[in-house]
Structure 1
């Protein structure tokens, strides 16, 4: 039951507590809490997307990483103050508190990460920066970063709801012409944190060469570079598609400071070599 969203909400959680070691031994202390990745889906998706579209379960269990996947509901993971649906508060505060209370998760910032694809990539950047005291790393794949430049010119005959002013107004409110440098702009959030000399999360950003969001992500990379912010930015063959996200969530897990792969087998049927 979510107080921020005023209803019961679904979650998919990968929790590597069922790992079996065939020699009966493990180098991992039994009471050691798990590092955690909060992983956000894209538009049109739900809490099952990442498990259905990628091999995140197998790779996470292999690395003793817990993964928490909520449903984004096409809401861009921000607070909708005009409707009372506080998605940002849910993601960055309530969900973290609930899962830490419910599962054996680490409470340390250094062990807590947020990531996502497309709409979820934006949500990871926005909430990772907004709740910078909670998350130490952000993974943004094909992040929907056109919100500050692409929400003012809508087609006369939209093909789907995301081409309508009505939809974007329902997400960001009526001031669509003023989102640049607003509280919804990741670049503006970064500038505020830099001005206050607050340490930023680490960034892993990737986008496909044939993705319509390529230029927006390149602009964000240029902004980070101009401000001398350490980050990883990768552009590889691919479009806005699961093959690309499957490849890069694996690379992101390799980039995160996770435990080494071990020889245990769990519900994801992992048995790595020593």
Structure 2
């Protein structure tokens, strides 16, 4: 397998950026996946805390892992970086030009954990012509109903002060176009085909309720999805285990996990 640090000048971010590319050992991936980190993390943390190399081999997946700060993977304008556009269009286009990666939608995945789960859901829906599958692990599915919980500081790092900084004056995320619900509903109105959503969360997580609500929301809209609940808290141990399960499920591969829970 190969781990490549690839640096280039990003037009979306308006500055140079380095992404990690992890290829399977035969350098012939059947799937390509953009994997988005959470708050206070980066691409190096993902490679250090997860068996990325092993999963690349087991499931024949090329991992593309950017480092995007605490951006929530939305568009902040030219001065501060259009992170949604970066992960939704520019990054994949650039990597496909430089490396031998799958080109079709059905074999293109966007995934992430925590804040990265929000980014995967939002951008997977927004760029639904590009991504065939979304994997959200412990996703920070923040919207109107969760603002009161943010005020209480319930979600740890997801405090309202930070949320306001990220989303500027739009402190109620249901009222603007960066919100994943808005994006999903706009795509459905236009008759677009949305990706398949694989959503996973730990039973002991504070984010469990809003992930369950999100899955119910998808079902109400008749959007294809799968919900996996398993024991665990908001940490690397859970995400490392669950991304392996998710890839086994969506690729049909055979990983170390012999069982994928059916959730609720």
Normalized against structure 2, the TM-score is what? 0.85
**Greater gyration radius:** 1
Structure 1 segments, 4+ long, off by >4 Å, are 152-162, 258-261
Q: With CA pairs under 8 Å and 6+ residues apart, which has the higher RCO, 1 or 2?
A: 1
Q: Are 1:3 and 2:11 matched, yes or no?
A: yes
The 5 Å alignment of 1:255-274 reads: 255-257=249-251
Give the aligned partner of residue 264 of structure 1.
none
Decide whether aligned partners of structure 1 residues 151 and 72 sit closer, same or farther in structure 2, where only a CA change above 3 A counts.
farther
Native 8 Å contact 1:118 1:141 kept in 2: yes
1:110 Cα offset (Å): 1.2
| Unaligned stretches of 5+ residues in structure 1 | 20-29, 262-274
Q: Deviations over 1:218-250 (max 9, x none)?
A: 110111122222211011111101111111111
1:215 Cα offset (Å): 0.8
Normalized against structure 1, the TM-score is what? 0.82
Q: d(CA) in 2 for partners of 1:125 and 1:156?
A: 25
Native 8 Å contact 2:197 2:224 kept in 1: yes
The 5 Å alignment of 1:57-136 reads: 57-81=53-77, 83-136=79-132
Greater strand content: 2
| CA-atom RMSD in angstroms | 2.5
Give the aligned partner of residue 163 of structure 2.
168
The correspondence for 1:216, drawn from 210, 214, 218, is 210
| Unaligned stretches of 5+ residues in structure 2 | 1-8, 256-264
Question: Which deviates more from structure 2 when the two are superposed, residues 37-46 or residues 243-252?
Answer: 243-252
The correspondence for 1:51, drawn from 44, 47, 50, is 47
Q: d(CA) in 2 for partners of 1:34 and 1:144?
A: 29
**Helix, strand or coil at the partner of 1:85:** coil
* Number of residue pairs aligned between Structure 1 and Structure 2: 247
Native 8 Å contact 2:121 2:134 kept in 1: yes
Q: d(CA) in 2 for partners of 1:154 and 1:50?
A: 26
Native 8 Å contact 1:211 1:240 kept in 2: yes
